[in-house]
Amino acid sequence: MDDSSGLWADPHDAHAPRPRPTYREPHPVTVHAAVAGVAFGVLWLLGWALVAADVIGLSVAGQAIAQALAGVVAWACAVLLACRGDRGAAVGVALGITFGWALTGLALVAQSW
């Protein structure tokens, strides 16, 4: 049966359209990993805040500096996670640290008023 309309192409024909390749992301972002990353980021900054307040005895400005340094370390870990590991956790860590930095900024503004 010869079909000249081209609807049924021979799979061995060189001019037959090939299916498009599908690419899968090696480390897809999942909600659970992002939530775990947010929790880790918040707990990381909370731990540093408690250390800066109780152990070292820093003022609010000193705590802000400690939070900034702890956040830089966490952001470096998030970049490493994004390049080599779980991208969802990296997004969560970045969001948690950003949220913690915003709260630290609010504490500085509230203290200066």
Return the number of other C-beta atoms located less than 10 Å from residue 47's C-beta.
11
Read off the pTM: 0.69
Q: Where are the domains of the chain?
A: 33-112
Measure CA of the first residue to CA of the last residue in the chain; give whole Å.
87
- pLDDT values of the chain reduced to their tens digit, one per residue, 113 residues: 555 555 665 666 666 677 777 888 776 788 999 999 999 998 998 888 888 877 777 777 788 888 889 999 999 999 998 888 888 999 999 999 999 889 888 988 888 77
The answer to whether 85 and 29 have CB atoms below 8 angstroms apart is no
